[in-house]
């Protein structure tokens, strides 16, 4: 019975051009892209997608949106629904073995050269620090990573983060606390490993 109901809902959605309950009458994938592509793009960065893969993974997310829009019933914010899709797509990306290999070569894009203090030595030091930052962030679960980056790096408030991820603010606080502890441990382990390598 539930499957029949889902089929019925889906078929109805085909003839309502992507209209979903709780949304504006004609919300299409193109309209969602117009309104939320930037949010999705930033979210994927917060989830650790390398710069070289961002546009491809952005399209993957909107592919899922294209295929699954009929399942969105408006019971959550659209941005929360999109965030959930980003999480799953990023998780699949992370599972693929080559992601870790590509990390070393594609973390940074060419905009790094436009930053202040762009002499070669400053750039090298900054790049090295960012590489260590990314390695430490990669040890966090995606949910913790996203919250940590949104708060500590992108400067979003806990209320904004709670709205995005669709949880109470208290959950944001607790996730942040755990993320900080995990991040600090990862940085400490990294420093020890790097120190051991230098002594060899």
Partner 1 sequence: MTRMRPWLEEGDAPPEVAELLRSARRSRPLDAAARARSARRLSALSALPAAAGVLLWAPHAALGAALGAIVTTAVVAPRILQAPAPAVPERASSAPSSRSGREQGRPPALPAPMESASEPVAQAAPPSSAVGRLPVVREPGEHDLSREARSLEHARELLARSPAEALSLLTRHAREFPDGTLAVERELLTVDALLRLGRRSEAEARGRALQGRAPGSLYERRLEKMLGGAK
Which residues 77-106 are close enough to bind partner 1 by CB under 8 A?
80-81, 84, 87-89, 92-93, 95-98, 100-102
Q: Which is nearer to partner 1, 24 or 35 (CB)?
A: 35
Residues 161-190 that bind partner 1 (CB under 8 A): 169-170, 173, 176, 180, 183-184, 187-188
Judged by CB, which is closer to partner 1: 15, or 199?
Answer: 15
Largest pairwise CA distance in the chain: 68
Least distance (Å) between residue 195 CB and partner 1: 11
Q: Which residue in 68, 61, 70 sits closest to 20, CA to CA?
A: 70
Does residue 64 bind partner 1 (CB under 8 A)?
yes
Site map 115..154 versus partner 1, x via CB under 8 A: x----------x--xx-xx--x------------x-xxxx
Question: Residue 10 Cβ, how far from partner 1 at the closest point, in Å?
Answer: 4
DSSP string for 93-161: HHHSHHHHHHHHHHS--GGGGGSSS-SHHHHHHHHHHHHHHHHHHTTS-HHHHHHHIIIIIS---HHHH
Q: How far is the CB of 98 from partner 1 (least distance, A)?
A: 4
Q: Is 158 in the site for partner 1 (CB under 8 A)?
A: yes
Rg (CA), the chain: 20
Measure the CA–CA gap between 147 and 124, rounded to whole angstroms: 28
Q: Classify residue 50 as exposed, middle or buried by CB count within 10 Å of its CB (0-12, 13-18, 19+).
A: buried
- Cβ distance to partner 1 smaller for residue 24 or 194: 194
């Amino acid at each position: 019975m539930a499957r029949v109901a889902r089929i019925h809902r889906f078929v109805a959605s085909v003839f309502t051009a992507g209209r979903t309950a709780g949304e504006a009458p004609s919300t299409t994938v193109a309209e969602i892209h117009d309104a939320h592509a930037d949010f999705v793009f930033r979210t994927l960065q917060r989830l650790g997608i390398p710069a070289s893969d961002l546009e491809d993974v952005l399209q993957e997310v909107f592919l899922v949106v294209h295929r699954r829009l009929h399942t969105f019933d408006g019971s959550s914010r659209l941005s929360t629904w999109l965030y959930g899709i980003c999480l799953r797509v990023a998780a699949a990306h992370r599972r693929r073995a080559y992601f870790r290999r590509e990390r070393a070569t594609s973390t940074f894009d060419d905009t790094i050269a436009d930053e202040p203090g762009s002499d070669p030595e400053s750039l090298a030091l900054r790049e090295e620090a960012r590489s260590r930052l990314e390695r430490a962030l990669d040890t966090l679960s995606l949910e913790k990573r996203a919250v940590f980056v949104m708060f500590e790096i992108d400067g979003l408030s806990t209320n904004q983060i709670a709205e995005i991820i669709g949880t109470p603010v208290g959950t944001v606080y607790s996730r942040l606390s755990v993320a900080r502890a995990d991040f600090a441990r990862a940085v400490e382990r990294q420093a020890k490993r790097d120190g051991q390598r230098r002594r060899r």
